[in-house]
Amino acid sequence: MVEVFKTNIKNLGNSKKILSTLNDVFPFLKVNFDLSDCDNILRVEGETVEAEKIMLLIKDKGFECEVLD
C-alpha cells in the first residue's frame, strides 16, 4: 500500500527530522519526501499505512499534513 501526503515541510533539515521520527515509530514503512514538488510530498509505503497516526505525529511536530487525493 502507498499513501501520499501533502505537507508544509519545505527544507531538508525539517524533512530529515520527520523522516527520523517516522522511521523510529514505523520501522516497517518506507518513507521519503519530494520537496521539489509544489505540495512537498511525503510518500509512505508498507503493508499497512496508518494515515491518521502519521498525520497526527507530523502535526504534533508543528507541521501540516493531509492525505493527497
According to the model, what pLDDT value does residue 69 have?
A: 82
Region of 27 (left: φ > 0; alpha: ψ -120 to 50; beta: rest) is: alpha
Q: Which CATH class is domain 2-67?
A: alpha beta
Region of 22 (left: φ > 0; alpha: ψ -120 to 50; beta: rest) is: alpha
Report the predicted TM-score, pTM, of the whole model to 2 decimal places.
Answer: 0.93
According to the model, what pLDDT value does residue 44 have?
A: 98
Which regions in the chain score pLDDT beneath 50? none
According to the model, what pLDDT value does residue 41 have?
A: 98
According to the model, what pLDDT value does residue 20 have?
A: 97
